[in-house]
Amino acid sequence: MKKILIIAGILTTLVLTLSILTIKVKVVCKSQTGVCPESLNNKIQNLNNKKLVTLNRQIKKILANNYLVNEYSIRFKLPNIYIIDLIAREPVFALKDMDTQKIALVSSEGKILAFSNNSYVPIVGVELNSELVEGSNVGEINLFALRLTDGVNKMYQIKSSQIQNNSLLVELRSQIRVLFPLDGEIDVLLGSLRLIYSKVEGDNSLSNYREIDLRYKNPVIR
């Protein structure tokens, strides 16, 4: 009798497991903002009504290397709901094509997340490579300029700059132009700017200065 009950229990477990694995599942995707990014959500919704036995592999294939996904977890909720909780990458910088005015929203790692007509994050004006697409990297020089602009913004609330003539141009509110190199130590460059600009601000003849050039070992004030 005991053996019969054990066998019955095993069979019941197998039947339940098989029935769960073969049911058609509804997929729900959630992010820290409530909804998942549209382009990603469209791919996920195409998996609705798939069988659970094949769904895990397909979901992981979509999420594992997607440039929009920072972290994710998955869980199954009875009777047939498959829930994806993810932390989506958010734009922290932006590149603006000076010819087309097109704006690329960029992650902290330098990946283009989307294109837009406006931006609320620090923005650098550049001549964008027409080959840049969502998911591509902006390149070392552009990423350097973006991080440098972000640092200036945190110090002086100046959210925009422009790459021109192999340098980064930032215009402070006092009408003083700052020229940065496109490589080097960002902390050192920002520290130099803070030190020099504080001296310029303390000078009664502020109107005599128009430019701080940090492209040289010894900064130049004009």
> Could you tell me if residue 199 is inside a domain?
yes
Residues 60 and 167 in one domain: no
Please check the confidence at residue 18 and state whether its pLDDT lies above 80: no
The answer to whether position 150 is within a domain reads yes
Give residue 64's domain range: 23-88
Phi, psi of 177 (to 5 degrees): -85, 140
Tell me the CATH number at 70: 3.10.20
Is it the case that residue 6 has pLDDT exceeding 70? no
Can the peptide bond before residue 219 be classed as cis, meaning omega within 30 degrees of 0? no
Q: How far apart are CA 82 and CA 12, in angstroms?
A: 23
Higher pLDDT, 4 or 171: 171
Query: Is residue 63's pLDDT more than 60?
Result: yes
Last residue of a domain, one of 43, 66, 88: 88
pTM to 2 decimals? 0.81
Q: Report if residue 37 sits inside a domain.
A: yes
34 occurs within a structural domain = yes
Among residues 48, 63, 88, the one where a domain terminates is: 88
Domain boundary among 70, 88, 106: 88
Say if 18 falls within a structural domain: no
Same domain? For 106 and 192 the reply is: yes
Residue 206 lies in a domain: yes
Q: Report pLDDT for 80.
A: 82
Query: Could you tell me if 84 and 150 lie in one domain?
Result: no
E strand segments, 4-98 = 24-31, 50-51, 69-77, 81-88, 93-97
Q: Look at residue 177 and tell me if it is in a domain.
A: yes
Highest mean pLDDT among 12-26, 168-182, 198-212: 168-182
Q: Is residue 12 part of a domain?
A: no
Query: Do 82 and 99 share a domain, yes or no?
Result: no
| 114 vs 218: CA distance, rounded Å | 39
pLDDT at 179: 97
141 and 200 housed in the same domain:
yes
If 0-12 CB within 10 Å is exposed, 13-18 middle and 19+ buried, where does residue 187 land? Answer: exposed
